[in-house]
């Protein structure tokens, strides 16, 4: 019976399985229709048409993919027109197409995406690279090739790798060109580079005159790095006109996006006729992994076309797109999907029109098919076909090609994984990612002009204009820069540095010096620098200090002279005098030292008073003892011995402090008595700030702004001075006679002033750190090139030779050229005093805790006459008596008491023996 029931159960289970299988098989239609929209006559379209047809044959020949369902692809020629492409898509909607392959144009893709979104039909493009075709706006658009977002990142990395800062972009003025250029701009900003000039080319530009007008404007731009992002027809025309204008020679760099390689790869039978116009250009090509299957398909393609048509990367992506859809449809059917369509309710209002729009319907299985497409994971001709979280193909990479002769020379690769490299991306994927600058390498390039030297990336605009270089027309300190009367020339230290640096640039340029100022007074340097920002000047050469507010407006070169603000004041020589012994320490130092002598003496007295007889006695004697003990520690001659542990510890720390103070005092006093001393009431910028006396500064320099804005000195105290003679006169008069207490100026001016004025000295330290440099507009390549030249001058010693030529050495004594305070201040010793004070405080706390403990024991065991605790006055009296009580913690007091008691008993016994009469002893007879 049991066997019968089991047999019935197996039969039922087998029937259910067979019904399920038959239902699954029956849900698969015999034919599945796809649509394909692209331009048949374009270089990409010609290759894609053959690739798609071969992919369909291979899919239908493979019984493991669609399992009996035949794949049919209906193709429509869009002719690169959005309108024609939209009509073709609507026709596919009437034939129950479950997906559309294409278009190859980003402009057409934008139009078709609106249609496919409404009808829920996946649109898979193997060639639309516009980065703005995002999944947020067009959820049914699936890009089966690489986005231009990565191509532009590759270009930005190339620009950064060669050290270029600014580029020119020529782009097609449509969605494809504009959005690609925008992605490039973002990528360059991330690399601290920028687009200095960009111009859109009309999509319908078909004559050379239009291109000529555009390139003439580009020729007047400083940058010589030109990125060309357009269609092949216009791109080749641009190269032809550029060569005619001489823009493809030495110093120029052309970078073309992958449109060039797609055309060149499609013309496998013969080199492009335009290759002669492209020499030295860098070109990108979408990278596809090498495999046996890819090589086999390439050979098959050559046989089919007879070698008249080459296979570009878009052909590989088109082939893989068909397989991608086939795998997704197979998964769609395996999950129970049914090809069914429903009416589009929004088109009911147009029923009866000649357009027959009511025939369009929504694909009910669109969401499931789209999900299966995005979950695809297989190996195709291009490599791994898999989408990341952003719905982009994984592992985007590009080949970087260099046009040499009649072909392309690969100089490296770019991948989003590891950047620029000469190693295949497939090998890098097996290693940890490394985007460090040291790891970014490319092979040598043959640049335009048949040179291997990396172009500097910019050139002077060929408009015949001279660069306008502003030069301050000084009235004083003309050794640095001065105008040669009757000519347009300038001379001086700064001019010689500029000329020497110019000779090291490796290129020449036309410039004209523009004087700024009337020559009767020094001009405002802030104003001449601001003229660069307004475009009136192309640079400024002279003694221009590099300060913060100026660096916000212009770029400076490497400093060619170090400088900073210093204080100059009159001085006088001082003799040692009768009170020279007080000079080593400042008044604050003397006061704090004296206080600590007294404090330490009192602390030691407190700690030793109860146990040391040398610290006891009448109040007068104790006071003298404290003072004597404190002062004698300076000479280690105190006669009082400390007995307590706390007292000895405090004394040990204090003797260490005294040792440091004595050594410092001795060294400072020796210096004062043996070295000639200069004295000035002004000690530096701080003492000058605290006073209310007038201060002189050089007219036109930045020191006025610094003293008022940064230091906080009132502007009413500042007096402008125009020449070294005015410096000397104002300083000699002094503040009481209408002069100044000190002059604040840059060190280089002051050193030149002191070369002939021996009555003044620099007081204090230099309180700003800056230098002199040449100023140029922001992001100007001159700033970098001149900085390199200035460093070379410094390394070769030429900069010092120019300095020695113009700036004489002081004839005054070089000893003590800077006056600084020779006193020792409290800030140098506060750490020692702090340690000593803490030790004294801790010792007193421990001492008083012991006293309080003893006081509690004494007060608890001594009741008053009434049997209660003592009164308040009694407790105070007890505490004071304990503090003043003489104790002997060593036990010697007890031993002395016992010895005295023993001696007293012995004396009493002797006295008793003396009073007792002695018995006579009689001899025995």
pLDDT tens sequence across 481-528: 999 888 889 999 999 999 999 999 878 788 999 999 888 889 999 999
* pLDDT score of 876: 65
Q: What angle do CA 167, 170, 176 make, to 5 degrees?
A: 120
Q: What are phi and psi of 807, to 5 degrees?
A: -110, 110
Please state the rounded mean pLDDT for residues 175-183: 93
pLDDT at 88: 64
Q: Which of 340-354, 633-647, 767-781 has the highest mean pLDDT?
A: 767-781
pTM of the model: 0.70
Strands (E), 477-522: 482-483, 490-491, 511-516
Is 50 exceeded by the pLDDT of residue 17?
no
- pLDDT score recorded for residue 358: 54
Q: Does residue 675 have a pLDDT over 90?
A: no
- Would you place residue 538 in the very low, low, confident or very high pLDDT band (cuts 50, 70, 90)? very high
- Give the N- to C-terminal CA distance of the chain in Å, as an integer: 156
In the predicted structure, residue 814 carries a pLDDT above the cut 50: no
Residue 309 has pLDDT above 80, yes or no: yes
User: Token pair for residue 80?
Assistant: 């690169």
Angle at 14 between CA 8 and CA 15, to 5 degrees: 90
Residue 1 has pLDDT above 60, yes or no: no
Residue 894 confidence (pLDDT) above 70: no
How does pLDDT run across 550-561, given as a tens digit for each residue? 999 999 999 999
| Res 226 pLDDT > 60 | yes
Residue 921 CA from chain centroid, whole number: 122
The pLDDT value given to residue 235:
93
Average pLDDT over residues 300-310: 87
Tens of pLDDT, residues 732-784? 898 888 899 899 999 999 988 888 888 888 888 888 888 999 999 988 889 98
Q: What is the mean pLDDT of residues 840-847?
A: 83
Range with the lowest mean pLDDT among 101-105, 492-496, 528-532, 861-865? 861-865
Burial 63-96 (b: 16+ CB within 10 A, else e): eebbeebebebebbbbbbbbebbbebbbbbbeeb
Q: Is residue 865 scored above 70 in pLDDT?
A: no
Each residue of 568-619: pLDDT tens digit?
Answer: 888 765 555 666 667 777 788 888 888 888 888 788 777 776 666 666 667 7
pLDDT in tens, 54-76: 999 999 999 899 888 999 999 98
The per-residue pLDDT for 815 is 46
Q: Is the Cβ–Cβ distance between 351 and 360 less than 8 Å? A: no
pLDDT for the residue numbered 464: 54
Percent of the chain with pLDDT over 70: 79
Convert the pLDDT of each residue in 799-812 to its tens digit.
999 999 998 765 56
pLDDT at 357 over 70: no
Rounded to an integer, the average pLDDT of 627-650 is 70
- 836-845: b (≥16 Cβ within 10 Å) or e: bbebbeebbe
DSSP per-residue string spanning 609-678: TTT-GGG-S-HHHHHHHHHHHHHHGGGT---PPP-SHHHHHHHHHHHHHHHHHHHHHHHHHHHHHHS-EE
- How many whole angstroms separate alpha carbon 49 and alpha carbon 76? 10
Q: Is the pLDDT of residue 913 over 80?
A: no
| Phi, psi dihedrals of residue 857, rounded to the nearest 5° | -65, -40
Are residues 322 and 80 in contact, defined by beta-carbon separation less than 8 angstroms? no
Mean pLDDT for 22-30 is 59
Q: Residue 301: what pLDDT?
A: 92
What average pLDDT does the segment 33-44 reach? Answer: 88
Give alpha helix (H) positions in 861-871. Answer: none
Asked which of 323-332, 445-454, 458-467, 682-691 is least confident by mean pLDDT, the reply is 458-467
Torsion angle of C-alpha atoms 721, 527, 768, 717, degrees rounded to 10: 40
Main-chain phi, psi angles of 402, to 5 degrees: -120, 125
Query: What distance lies between CA 239 and its chain's CA centroid?
Result: 38
% of the chain exceeding 90 in pLDDT: 42
Least confident of 188-197, 490-499, 648-657, 903-912: 903-912
Mean pLDDT value across residues 681-696: 83
Mean pLDDT of the chain: 82
Q: pLDDT tens digits for 363-395?
A: 889 999 999 999 999 999 999 999 998 899 999
Task: Write out the DSSP string of 468-482.
Answer: EEEEE--SS-TTT-E
Q: What is the pLDDT of residue 347?
A: 55
Looking at mean pLDDT, say which of 6-15, 225-234, 697-706, 869-878 comes out highest: 225-234
Q: What is the pLDDT at residue 71?
A: 94
Measured CA to CA in angstroms, residue 280 lies from 228, 401, 433, 444, 663 at distances of 14, 10, 31, 11, 76
Residue linked to tokens 């699954």: 24
Which pLDDT belongs to residue 709?
Answer: 86
């Amino acid at each position: 019976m049991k066997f019968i029931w089991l047999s019935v159960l197996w039969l039922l289970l087998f029937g259910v399985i067979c019904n399920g299988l038959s239902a699954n098989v029956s849900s698969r239609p015999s034919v599945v229709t796809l649509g394909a929209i692209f331009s048949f006559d374009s270089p990409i379209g010609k290759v894609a048409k053959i690739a798609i047809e071969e992919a369909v044959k291979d899919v239908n020949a493979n019984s493991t993919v669609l399992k009996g369902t035949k794949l049919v692809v209906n193709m429509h020629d869009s002719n690169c027109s959005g309108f024609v492409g939209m009509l073709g898509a609507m026709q596919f909607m009437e034939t129950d197409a479950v997906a559309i392959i294409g278009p190859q144009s980003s402009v057409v893709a934008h139009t078709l995406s609106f249609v496919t979104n409404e009808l829920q039909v996946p649109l898979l493009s193997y060639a639309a690279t516009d980065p703005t075709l995002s999944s947020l706006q067009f959820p049914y658009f699936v890009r089966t090739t690489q986005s231009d977002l990565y191509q532009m990142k590759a270009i930005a990395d190339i620009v950064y790798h060669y050290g270029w800062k600014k580029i020119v972009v020529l782009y097609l003025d449509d969605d494809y060109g504009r959005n690609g250029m925008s992605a490039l701009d973002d990528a360059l900003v991330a690399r601290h580079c920028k687009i200095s000039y960009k111009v859109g080319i009309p999509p319908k530009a078909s004559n050379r005159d239009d291109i000529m007008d555009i390139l003439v404007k580009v020729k007047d731009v400083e940058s010589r790095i030109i990125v060309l992002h357009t269609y092949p027809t216009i791109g080749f025309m641009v190269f032809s006109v550029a060569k005619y204008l001489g823009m493809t020679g030495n110093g120029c760099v052309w970078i073309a996006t992958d449109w060039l390689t797609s055309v060149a790869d499609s013309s496998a039978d013969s080199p492009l006729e335009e290759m002669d116009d492209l020499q030295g250009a860098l070109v990108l090509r979408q990278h596809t992994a090498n495999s046996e299957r890819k090589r086999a398909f390439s050979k098959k393609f050559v046989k089919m076309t007879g070698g008249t048509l080459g296979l570009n990367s878009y052909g590989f992506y088109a082939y893989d797109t068909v397989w991608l859809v086939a795998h997704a449809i197979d998964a769609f059917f395996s999950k129970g999907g049914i090809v069914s369509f429903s009416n589009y309710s929004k088109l009911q209002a147009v029923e009866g029109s000649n357009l027959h729009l009511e025939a369009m319907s929504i694909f009910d299985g669109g969401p499931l098919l789209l999900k299966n497409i995005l979950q695809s994971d297989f190996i195709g001709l291009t490599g791994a076909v898999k989408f990341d979280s952003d719905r982009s193909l994984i592992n985007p990479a590009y080949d970087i090609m260099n046009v040499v002769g009649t072909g392309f020379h690969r100089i490296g690769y770019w991948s989003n994984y590891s950047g620029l490299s000469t190693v295949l991306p497939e090998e890098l994927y097996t290693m940890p990612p490394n985007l460090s600058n040291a790891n970014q390498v490319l092979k040598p390039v043959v640049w335009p002009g048949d040179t291997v030297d990396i172009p500097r990336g910019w050139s002077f605009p060929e408009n015949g204009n001279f660069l306008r270089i502003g030069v301050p027309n000084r009235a004083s300190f003309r050794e640095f820069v001065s105008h040669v009367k009757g000519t347009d020339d300038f001379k001086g230290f700064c001019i010689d540095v500029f000329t020497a640096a110019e000779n090291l640039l490796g290129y020449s340029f036309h410039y004209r010096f523009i004087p700024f100022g009337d020559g009767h007074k020094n001009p405002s340097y802030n104003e001449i620098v601001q003229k660069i920002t307004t475009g009136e000047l192309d640079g400024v050469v002279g003694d221009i200090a590099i300060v913060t507010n100026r660096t916000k407006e212009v770029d400076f070169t490497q400093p060619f002279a170090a400088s900073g603000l210093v204080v100059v004041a009159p001085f006088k020589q001082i003799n040692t005098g009768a009170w020279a012994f007080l000079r080593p320490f400042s008044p604050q130092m003397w006061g704090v030292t004296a206080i600590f002598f007294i404090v330490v003496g009192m602390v030691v007295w407190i700690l030793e008073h109860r146990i040391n007889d040398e610290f006891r006695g009448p109040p007068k004697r104790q006071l003298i003892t404290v003072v004597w003990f404190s002062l004698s520690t300076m000479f280690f001659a105190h006669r009082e011995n400390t007995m307590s542990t706390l007292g000895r510890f405090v004394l040990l720390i204090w003797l260490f402090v005294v040792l440091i103070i004595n050594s410092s005092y001795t060294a400072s006093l020796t210096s004062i008595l043996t070295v000639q001393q200069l004295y000035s009431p002004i000690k530096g910028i701080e003492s000058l700030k605290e006073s209310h006396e007038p201060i002189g500064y050089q007219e036109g320099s930045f020191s006025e702004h610094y003293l008022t804005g940064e230091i906080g000195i009132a502007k009413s105290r500042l007096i402008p001075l125009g020449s070294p003679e005015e410096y000397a006169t104002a300083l000699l008069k002094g503040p009481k006679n209408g002069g100044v207490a000190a002059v604040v100026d840059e060190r280089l001016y002051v050193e030149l002033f002191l070369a002939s004025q021996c009555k003044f000295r620099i007081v204090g330290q230099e309180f700003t750190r800056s230098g002199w440099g040449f100023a140029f507009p922001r992001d100007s390549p001159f700033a970098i090139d001149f900085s390199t030249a200035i460093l070379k001058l410094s390394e070769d010693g030429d900069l010092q030779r120019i300095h020695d030529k113009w700036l004489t050495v002081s004839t005054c004594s070089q000893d003590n050229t800077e006056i600084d305070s020779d006193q020792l201040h409290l800030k140098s010793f506060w750490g020692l005093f702090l340690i000593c004070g803490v030790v004294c405080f801790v010792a007193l706390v421990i001492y008083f805790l012991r006293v309080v403990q003893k006081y509690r024991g004494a007060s608890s065991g001594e009741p008053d006459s009434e049997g209660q605790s003592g009164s308040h006055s009694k407790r105070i009296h007890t505490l004071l008596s304990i503090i003043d009580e003489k104790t002997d913690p060593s036990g010697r007091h007890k031993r002395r008491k016992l010895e005295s008691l023993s001696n007293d008993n012995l004396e009493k016994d002797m006295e008793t023996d003396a009073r007792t009469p002695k018995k006579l002893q009689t001899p025995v007879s």
